Structure 1
Amino acid sequence: MKKLFLIAMVGLSLALIIVEINFVINDFLIDNLDNSIGNIFGMIVGFCGLFASYKDATWKARNWEDD
C-alpha cells in the first residue's frame, strides 16, 4: 500500500510538471514576455520544486523496504 501511494505521488508530480511547462509555454509564446520578472522567476522556482518532489518520490518508490 505504501508503494502504491508513492507511485501515485510520482504520477501527480509528473502531471504538475506538465502543467508548469504549459504555463511557461503560454507565458513566453502567447503573452510575448509581457509578464514581470518576478513571475518568470516564480515559474522557474515552481518547476524546480516540482522536479525535486518527482525525483524524491521516484527514489522512495525504488528504494522502499517493506517492514
Structure 2
Amino acid sequence: MSVKGPASYFPSIEQKYGRPIADWQELIRSSPLTRHMELVAWLKAEHGLGHGHANALVAHTLAH
C-alpha cells in the first residue's frame, strides 16, 4: 500500500533535512503561528524548507 497525501513527502523530508518528522511536527505545534500559510512561510524562511515540503508538514500536522 502506498502512502498518499502529505505523508508521502515524509521520507524525502527526513532524508533531505536530516530531522525526523516528529521534530518538525513539534516545531510546528510549538510555534505561536496558527494559520496554515503563516506556518508554511515560517518553515521556508526559518528552516530552509521547500514549499512542497513545508506545505505537506503543516497540512499533516494541523490535521492530526
TM-score by length of 2: 0.31
Pair member with larger Rg: 1
Q: Kindly indicate whether structure 1 or structure 2 has the higher relative contact order, using CA contacts under 8 Å at least 6 residues apart.
A: 1
